[in-house]
Amino acid sequence: MSSAVIDVVGIGNAIVDVIAHADERFLAAEGLALGAMTLIDAERAESLYRKMGPATESSGGSAGNTMAGIASLGGTGGYIGKVRDDLLGEVFRHDITAIGVRFETPAATSGPGTARCLVMVTPDGQRTMGTYLGACVDLSPGDLDAALIGAAQVTYLEGYLFDPPKAQVAFRTAAAIAHRAGHRVALSLSDPFCVGRHRAAFRELVAGEVDILFANEAEICSLYETDDFEQAAAAVKGHVAVAALTRSAHGSVILADGAAHDIAAVPVARVVDTTGAGDLYAAGFLYGLTRGLALPICGAVGSLCAAEIISHVGARPEGTLSGLVKAAGLL
Cβ-contact 144, 177 below 8 angstroms: yes
Min CB(178)–a second copy separation in Å? 27
Site for a second copy in 191-220 (CB under 8 A): none
Residue/partner pairs of 123-128 with CB below 8 Å, 24 or more apart: 123/21, 123/23, 124/271, 125/270, 125/271, 125/272, 125/273, 125/274, 125/310, 126/34, 126/35, 126/274, 127/19, 127/35, 127/273, 127/274, 127/275, 128/22, 128/27, 128/32, 128/33, 128/34, 128/35, 128/36
Cα dihedral sign, 280-306-162-178: positive
Min CB(269)–a second copy separation in Å? 9
Q: Which positions from 304 to 323 touch a second copy by CB under 8 A, shown as an x/- string?
A: --------xxx-x-xx----
Min CB(88)–a second copy separation in Å? 7
Residue 97: how many other CB atoms lie within 10 Å:
14
Is 94 or 180 the residue whose CB approaches a second copy more closely? 94
Stretch of 27-35, 94-102, 233-241, 251-259 contacting a second copy, by CB under 8 A: 94-102
277 forms part of the interface with a second copy (CB under 8 A): no
29 forms part of the interface with a second copy (CB under 8 A): no
24 forms part of the interface with a second copy (CB under 8 A): no
47 forms part of the interface with a second copy (CB under 8 A): no
Question: What is the C-alpha end-to-end distance of the chain, expressed in Å?
Answer: 28
Stretch of 45-53, 75-83, 254-262, 284-292 contacting a second copy, by CB under 8 A: 45-53
Residue among 33, 36, 39, 55 that touches a second copy (CB under 8 A): 55
Residue among 6, 88, 119, 154 that touches a second copy (CB under 8 A): 88
Binding site for a second copy (CB under 8 A): 20-21, 49-50, 52-59, 68, 86-88, 91, 94-96, 98-99, 312-314, 316, 318-319
